[in-house]
Structure 1
Amino acid sequence: MHPRIQEVTERLIERSRPTRERYLAQMAGAASDGPQRGKLQCANFAHGVAGCASTSDKQQLRLMNEANVAIVSAYNDMLSAHQPYEHFPEIIKQALREVGSVGQFAGGVPAMCDGVTQGDPGMEMSLASREVIAMATAIALSHNMFDAALYLGICDKIIPGLMIGALRFGHLPAVFVPGGPMPSGIPNKQKAEVRQRYAEGKASREELLESEMLSYHSPGTCTFYGTANTNQVVMEIMGLHLPGSSFVNPYTPLRDELTREAARQVTRLTPQSGNYLPLCKIVDEKSIINSVVALNATGGSTNHTLHIPAFAQAAGIQLTWQDMADVSAVTPTLAKVYPNGQADVNHFHACGGVPFMVRTLLDAGLLHEDVFTVMGKGLKQYTQEPFLEEGKLVWREGPQGSLDETILRPVERAFSPEGGLRVLEGNLGRGVTKISAVAPEHRVVEAPARVFSDQAELAQAFKNAELERDFVAVVRFQGPKANGMPELHKLTPFLGVLQDRGHKVALVTDGRMSGASGKVPAAIHVSPEALDGGPLCRVRDGDIIRVDGETGELRVLVDQAEFDSRERVMAPSDLGIGCGRELFGFLRSAFSPAEKGASVFTEELEALK
């Protein structure tokens, strides 16, 4: 193992020891009594099987030596990524019947699309939806009818929410089942050019709409490398997907056979099989570090600086931003996928994808190989790719080298020697930045502040030609407690235009930017947030701010005594009102700081120490 990876892993194990031991004891207690449905009262059991489609399923469930598999799905037919899941439950149930087991659709969880809600009020419910998904997962599994579970989800908050819920039932074996990306649309460079021309008033809405609909055009996950596709890489390298399955397109014979095999495989992990392997044993400190390596090696979404700590904590593991930054410092950037490059995830998959990444990272000692996965012991199985031979699913060794080194490279010829994730700290608080897509000449900005309370204000200032200069945009009251921490993705075209015009620009915010943050330097997730009295609430227009992605400095260059004496600016009075946002007020008030995952579960899980 690389000594830095080993060092971070060991300190994570030591820091997590009290909560991890308590968590594993809870899971052992839950698993100790065998199938819970066997202990249900007769009326309870009858309720649990009354909806079975066939008499044979009912009879099977009366036998404790057969597995009952819960299906928890984020299906809806408005989200392109989740639309294919409409057909998965029947595929799964039939595959389970063929091996003498039963599948029950235990529950659906909500699935919202950040791409639809970007810049609109609904986006303020996005992060909170992760917590709702976790709770919905727990409700689905609360019937105690199940020996294992399959989790069907892909996108931004859905996989982290499913993970948090699943880990609280970590005594159950589990496989996460991806749906795959849509086929490639128009080139990303063409899409980005139209967006930028529209931001400058040089393209019509009709041109923009046509471009976007040619990009997002069919069922399947969006093909740029944002949070959804980062989720898929993270799940596969953690060993929670079948090997090589993340980026197989939907509605193909291989995708359907992988879904059947996921159903068969999860039964092989149950106590009835004699090879019991629960989720709580797969997700440990080493697999969490592997997930951070995967995030950094691919230049993945900054949203995972919230999500990985949040679901790690659900397993009793106390991951910090500093852990993630220290891993990033020695993890080379191996992939260039839009917005970090021009290729999409289909191109990434075709030139070697996750199997090649696992191979080169293992060879360099950057991944823990001695972990459990849904395939058993050892990560080396994840260097393999799935194929169909006469309709039968087989795995073969994946590429020994990348088939296109403009997209994916081995460790020895990496695009960068580091992953690009860094912690920023100073008298404005503590945040994170991702510099993998930021050109070296743009990584340090020192300029006057221009302060905004939301992204609409900045957009209007741009349209009024008020921003034709060097400046640091401070967008505050966007933290988890203020308005649910929406992504500020709509800022990217405006700031990108100004940067291309030769201005030095940067963003500082207590909000999020996601994996689509791109080429503009951004200090995001700044804590403490402005609503909690963090330093951002005392910044004024004209204050000189330094954002240094090289040294990790985030500082307002104002006399500290004078800055501290300033009266704090209060949040706008209309935060969190409309579009159902009122219903989430209790969640917002309970959110933890960003470094602890911006989660409502933090205090409850920490109390288990």
Structure 2
Amino acid sequence: MSADRRIEAITDRIRERSAPTREAYLARIRKKSAEGPKRSALACGNLAHGFAACGPDDKARLAGDATPNLGIITSYNDMLSAHQPFERYPELIRAAAREVGGTAQVASGVPAMCDGVTQGQAGMELSLFSRDVIAMAAAVGLSHDMYDAAVYLGVCDKIVPGLAIAALTFGHLPAIFMPAGPMTSGLPNDEKAKIRQLYAEGKVGRDALLESEMKSYHGPGTCTFYGTANSNQMLMEIMGLHTPGSSFVNPNTPLRDALTREATKRALAITALGNEFTPAGEIVDERAVVNGVVGLHATGGSTNHTLHLVAIAAAAGIKLTWQDISDLSDVTPLLARVYPNGLADVNHFQAAGGMGFLIRELLDDGFLHDDVRTVWGTGLRAYTVEAKLGFDGTTVMRAPAPAESGDAKVLAKASAPFSANGGLRVLKGNMGEAVIKVSAVKPEKRVVEAPAKIFHDQNELKTAFDAGELTGDFVAVVRFQGPKANGMPELHKLTPMLGVLLDRGQKVALVTDGRMSGASGKVPAAIHVTPEAKDGGAIARLRDGDMVRVDGDAGRLEILVDEAEFGTRPLAEADLSGNDYGIGRELFAPFRAAVGPATEGASIFG
């Protein structure tokens, strides 16, 4: 058990709140577990369809009853650097499965889009909804009921949360997540950010900007800053869904391949056909969810997970709230400084001790629950290790995580944290609820009280910036960016412009019902404002010049106008017809109509 009573108290209240839905969920998956996969009871015609394309040996195994069969859910595509390495995984997995008498089949592919490619573009309006599409696509593949366990190949922003929702929907099956790993280090992230800001000011041209970006994003693997993609990998490990030490090993290396083979064999070992049956729905309980939130705060992770963790927990019958996330932030020390919360990248984090060091420090000081189930067995203590290549060059061995950080500027001990808390907070007030991440915001910049400047599109703000109209202190309000309005795109494109103004000495903050992602940085940003403008939220009653207070210290988001007068104002309207079509947006109209609020994960699943 966690030694910290504050962590225990928050876990207990989540457990109590979730009891009815969690019990119903567990009853469903246990009933399904008892039935076993339909493969053993399918009519001959059905079964023959299920392995018609297999080779003779695999076909012979699948025709019997005792062979464990893995379903591979893959997000492979070769346009995206993070997912390109997965091209080789299915054959690695099939070969490893055969070595231990099992079989493996690609059950389905799922889409994988990149917020880096679509940032500031129309395609970004599909990004958040792609999470739920991924969950549904995985469900289609697993619905054939041919599998004893599933392995999930995914890395980036919406892909892992979507796969996690699918894994928990099929929570009667064991599930192991297999990462591809981060690309090797390129141009330092702070240098890349500097070039972006110079470009926003017109001081360098597109050629210089493109050269900088190409030096940053230069090969296979995840982007090296600590955004949502790398936060995903941290979460899967600290929640016990990775094999130990596998999150941040570079792609296409002998150790990466060895970890993939090992994870395959482990997935086969924890099916109902063996003695260590470990269904995913039993792993992800209230303690595992709290461990994930603590890990997010301890590493300064992505604000997108205030949406994704709520949705993932809900898929397991667990009711996680923003207040839970905020309260856990208040008691969790910040142990990692990875860009944008520092100058290092995720490879430096790994070299300094990585996940094994982080988990041990948090466990030893009572911030994590050790008494959890994982794909590796019982207890999170098994994850306080480093994965290394075995002496034969093809297997994995593990050593205890180092006692001291390899770089105390990147990874700190719990006894000497960078900050006493994680820096992610809920803001509340007469504008509703929002989220702010202050770990990268200087303390003197965290409170802004200034007149509002209203925009209904991020391009409107850019036009005003280019025209030199954004003078003085102000709060930029970019509204009608919520899930019901246009799918809740990330507005990270605004960061360089607002950063320029901040550097000029202006007091600047952003308030939006859209998203800003794990790459948001030094500008105080109240994001995910709920209720959103499209849903009649108070943000839709704001006018240019209204005084707004964003207080990242006290956790307040206030409209400082006469309450009676404000309540009589009509709701603003925005022309959203341009968001209804093009780049596939017309196909997502049912999602915009059905989506729930950001406080509930911005999900279409009830």
Deviation at 1:188, TM superposition (A): 1.5
Task: Give 2:422's aligned amino acid.
Answer: G
Corresponding residue for residue 42 of structure 1? 44
Corresponding residue for residue 7 of structure 2? 5
Q: What is the CA–CA distance in structure 1 between the aligned matches of 2:280 and 2:63, rounded to whole Å?
A: 25
- Note if 1:582 corresponds to 2:586: yes
Deviation at 1:468, TM superposition (A): 2.1
Structure 1 residues 146-193: Cα deviation after superposition (integer angstroms, max 9, x where no partner) = 000000000000000001111111111110000000000011121111
Is the partner of 1:386 in helix, strand or coil? strand
Contact 1:425–1:554 at 8 Å: present in 2 too? yes
Q: What is the CA–CA distance in structure 1 between the aligned matches of 2:249 and 2:412, rounded to whole Å?
A: 21
Corresponding residue for residue 560 of structure 1? 563
Is the partner of 1:13 in helix, strand or coil? helix
Is the partner of 1:424 in helix, strand or coil? strand
Which of the numbers 16, 23, 39 marks the counterpart of 2:18?
16
Deviation at 1:454, TM superposition (A): 1.1
Corresponding residue for residue 140 of structure 2? 139
Task: Give 1:153's aligned amino acid.
Answer: G
Structure 1 residues 436-478: Cα deviation after superposition (integer angstroms, max 9, x where no partner) = 0000000000000000001100011000000121000000000
Task: Give 2:586's aligned amino acid.
Answer: E
Deviation at 1:43, TM superposition (A): 0.5
Q: What is the CA–CA distance in structure 2 between the aligned matches of 1:583 and 1:34, rounded to whole Å?
A: 36
Is the partner of 2:296 in helix, strand or coil? helix
Structure 1 residues 399-439: Cα deviation after superposition (integer angstroms, max 9, x where no partner) = 11211011110111101000011110111111110100000
Deviation at 1:65, TM superposition (A): 1.6
Structure 1 residues 71-119: Cα deviation after superposition (integer angstroms, max 9, x where no partner) = 0000000010000000000000000001000000100000000000000
- Note if 1:433 corresponds to 2:427: no
Q: What is the CA–CA distance in structure 2 between the aligned matches of 1:28 and 1:554, rounded to whole Å?
A: 44
Contact 1:219–1:250 at 8 Å: present in 2 too? yes
Structure 1 ranges of 4+ moved more than 6 A? none
Structure 1 residues 184-228: Cα deviation after superposition (integer angstroms, max 9, x where no partner) = 001112111111100100010000000000000001000000000
Deviation at 1:28, TM superposition (A): 0.7
Q: What is the CA–CA distance in structure 1 between the aligned matches of 2:468 and 2:36, rounded to whole Å?
A: 68
Corresponding residue for residue 421 of structure 1? 424
- Note if 1:259 corresponds to 2:263: no
Is the partner of 1:448 in helix, strand or coil? strand
Deviation at 1:576, TM superposition (A): 2.6
Which of the numbers 424, 439, 446 marks the counterpart of 1:443?
446
Q: What is the CA–CA distance in structure 1 between the aligned matches of 2:36 and 2:523, rounded to whole Å?
A: 54
Q: What is the CA–CA distance in structure 1 between the aligned matches of 2:595 and 2:417, rounded to whole Å?
A: 38
Q: What is the CA–CA distance in structure 2 between the aligned matches of 1:218 and 1:511, rounded to whole Å?
A: 30
Matches for 1:208-607 after TM superposition, within 5 Å:
208-388=209-389, 389-391=391-393, 392-574=395-577, 575-601=579-605, 603=606
Is the partner of 1:413 in helix, strand or coil? coil
Q: What is the CA–CA distance in structure 2 between the aligned matches of 1:336 and 1:589, rounded to whole Å?
A: 39
Contact 1:72–1:152 at 8 Å: present in 2 too? yes
Task: Give 1:75's aligned amino acid.
Answer: Y
Corresponding residue for residue 125 of structure 2? 124
Q: What is the CA–CA distance in structure 1 between the aligned matches of 2:5 and 2:208, rounded to whole Å?
A: 52
Q: What is the CA–CA distance in structure 1 between the aligned matches of 2:343 and 2:82, rounded to whole Å?
A: 21
Q: What is the CA–CA distance in structure 1 between the aligned matches of 2:576 and 2:248, rounded to whole Å?
A: 44
% same residue: 62
Structure 1 residues 522-581: Cα deviation after superposition (integer angstroms, max 9, x where no partner) = 100000000011011110110010000000110111001111111111121423322110
Contact 2:298–2:334 at 8 Å: present in 1 too? yes
- Note if 1:204 corresponds to 2:205: yes
Deviation at 1:34, TM superposition (A): 2.5
Q: What is the CA–CA distance in structure 1 between the aligned matches of 2:417 and 2:584, rounded to whole Å?
A: 46
Q: What is the CA–CA distance in structure 2 between the aligned matches of 1:211 and 1:576, rounded to whole Å?
A: 34
Deviation at 1:483, TM superposition (A): 0.1
Deviation at 1:396, TM superposition (A): 1.0
Deviation at 1:35, TM superposition (A): 3.1
Contact 1:448–1:542 at 8 Å: present in 2 too? yes
Structure 1 residues 14-49: Cα deviation after superposition (integer angstroms, max 9, x where no partner) = 100000000001001111123320011110001001
Which of the numbers 30, 33, 37 marks the counterpart of 2:32?
30
Task: Give 2:464's aligned amino acid.
Answer: A
Matches for 1:172-183 after TM superposition, within 5 Å:
172-183=173-184
Q: What is the CA–CA distance in structure 2 between the aligned matches of 1:62 and 1:26, rounded to whole Å?
A: 28
Is the partner of 2:130 in helix, strand or coil? helix
Is the partner of 2:150 in helix, strand or coil? strand
Is the partner of 1:65 in helix, strand or coil? coil
Task: Give 2:580's aligned amino acid.
Answer: G
Structure 1 residues 357-409: Cα deviation after superposition (integer angstroms, max 9, x where no partner) = 00000011000000001100000110111111222321111111211011110
Task: Give 1:58's aligned amino acid.
Answer: K
Contact 1:336–1:408 at 8 Å: present in 2 too? yes
Task: Give 2:222's aligned amino acid.
Answer: T
Contact 1:107–1:137 at 8 Å: present in 2 too? yes
Contact 1:479–1:510 at 8 Å: present in 2 too? yes
Q: What is the CA–CA distance in structure 2 between the aligned matches of 1:16 and 1:190, rounded to whole Å?
A: 45
Q: What is the CA–CA distance in structure 1 between the aligned matches of 2:187 and 2:77, rounded to whole Å?
A: 25
Task: Give 2:86's aligned amino acid.
Answer: Y
Task: Give 1:46's aligned amino acid.
Answer: A
Is the partner of 1:289 in helix, strand or coil? helix
Contact 2:485–2:576 at 8 Å: present in 1 too? no
Is the partner of 1:272 in helix, strand or coil? coil
Q: What is the CA–CA distance in structure 2 between the aligned matches of 1:34 and 1:188, rounded to whole Å?
A: 49
The number of aligned residues is 601
Q: What is the CA–CA distance in structure 2 between the aligned matches of 1:440 and 1:520, rounded to whole Å?
A: 11
Contact 1:35–1:147 at 8 Å: present in 2 too? yes
RMSD across aligned C-alpha pairs, in angstroms? 0.7
Is the partner of 1:44 in helix, strand or coil? helix
Contact 1:35–1:64 at 8 Å: present in 2 too? no
Q: What is the CA–CA distance in structure 2 between the aligned matches of 1:47 and 1:527, rounded to whole Å?
A: 48
Contact 1:369–1:380 at 8 Å: present in 2 too? yes
Q: What is the CA–CA distance in structure 2 between the aligned matches of 1:15 and 1:168, rounded to whole Å?
A: 20
Is the partner of 1:206 in helix, strand or coil? helix
Normalization by structure 1: what TM-score?
A: 0.98
Corresponding residue for residue 606 of structure 1? none
Structure 1 unmatched ranges of 5 or more: 604-609
Is the partner of 1:342 in helix, strand or coil? coil
Worse-matched range after superposition: 480-489 or 189-198: 189-198
Deviation at 1:330, TM superposition (A): 0.4
Deviation at 1:62, TM superposition (A): 1.9
Normalization by structure 2: what TM-score?
A: 0.99
Contact 1:447–1:546 at 8 Å: present in 2 too? yes
Task: Give 2:555's aligned amino acid.
Answer: G
Contact 1:4–1:326 at 8 Å: present in 2 too? no
Structure 1 residues 474-494: Cα deviation after superposition (integer angstroms, max 9, x where no partner) = 000000000000000000000
Task: Give 2:10's aligned amino acid.
Answer: V
Is the partner of 2:403 in helix, strand or coil? coil
Deviation at 1:274, TM superposition (A): 1.6
Task: Give 1:6's aligned amino acid.
Answer: E
Deviation at 1:353, TM superposition (A): 0.9
Q: What is the CA–CA distance in structure 1 between the aligned matches of 2:164 and 2:574, rounded to whole Å?
A: 33
Task: Give 2:17's aligned amino acid.
Answer: R
Is the partner of 1:567 in helix, strand or coil? coil
